[in-house]
Amino acid sequence: MSGAVPGLRVRRAGPLALLQDAGRFGVRRLGVTQGGPMDLHAWAWANQLVENAWGTTALEVTLGGLALEAERDLTLAVCGGDLGATLDEAPLPLWRGLWVRAGQVLRFAQPTSGLRTYLAVAGGFQAEPVLGSTACVVREGLGGHDGQGHSLDEGDRLRVDPAARAREGAEAPESVRPDYTSVPWLGLIPGAQVGDFTGPSLYRAFNHEWRVDDRADRMGIRLTGPRLHCRLETLISEGLGLGAVQVPPDGQPIVLVNDRQTIGGYPRLGALTPLACSRLAQCVPGQTVRLRAITLERALADYRRFRRGFASA
């Protein structure tokens, strides 16, 4: 972080604004979770529009309520949910790189579409890595702007690389901008215990609507709908990957996401793909979603196609 200088100062702190790089990997054997952006798609595009390599640290803003003052001229981009972002009270265009002058104020109000948006600056936000990553995990007290897992607070300053530059005006094509108000079909790779669910339960899982519960955070997102029944009564705890769909005794699935625990003992229907997790992360409580079974091969092909569009670190 040598040479980094203040780039943005927090004038008003929102409920949850966290620095996130691609995530913390290789440490789950220590009981440390992944972290990283809930919406990988929007985070990646925000970095792309300011010419940052994959893995560069950006700011995840959840639910809005945040005000930031530029302390120097910056190139930045905001991608993801529409949180009513403004620059000096004028609407700020999403999915586009733009130039911000020192003294200008960027505000996020409240969600009108989606829940989360991502702010990237040219060169990325500068913070000391913890266990190889700047990803902020509040529960574990790791990463973030201060290395201790804290969300942004009033008066905090985000540091940047003063030498970083990017061209203004880069814009994401319309085809990659999701309609967060539509009903998403979430790809699910069936897991090892899928055969232990009853036939009627499997039919209901993939042929009925599910609603996003208000019990949702960066650890897990509960879905409510028809009750699912599994024949397994006990299960030895297993490692949990991103998107694991656990079904506890009440029969209501829980999708485990970025800040999940590292092991769990409930049977799993399978796992949502990373891109399905990204789409689910933008769903507001009460929003309807559908599940569709896909093969591992299809999921890998979709993810590789997605990654090919972004610069490597």
Q: What residue ranges define each of the domains in the chain, with the CATH number in brackets?
A: 5-176 (no CATH), 185-307 (2.40.100.10)
Run means of pLDDT, 10 residues per run, the chain, 313 residues: 89 96 94 97 98 97 98 97 97 97 97 97 97 97 97 97 89 97 98 95 97 96 97 89 96 98 95 98 97 97 93 64
Question: For residue 2, what pLDDT is reported?
Answer: 67
One-character DSSP codes across 154-223: TT-EEEE-TT----TT-B--GGGS--TTS-PEEEEEE-TTGGGB-HHHHHHHHHS-EEEEEEE-SSEEEE
Strands 66-70 and 5-12: antiparallel
Alpha-carbon span 157 to 123, nearest angstrom: 16
Question: For residue 313, what pLDDT is reported?
Answer: 56
Pull the structure tokens for residue 9: 């100062």
For 144-160, b/e burial (b = at least 16 CB within 10 A) is bbeeebbbbeeebbbbb
Question: For residue 173, what pLDDT is reported?
Answer: 96
Q: Please, is 235 exposed, middle or buried when counting C-beta atoms within 10 Å of its C-beta (0-12, 13-18, 19+)?
A: middle
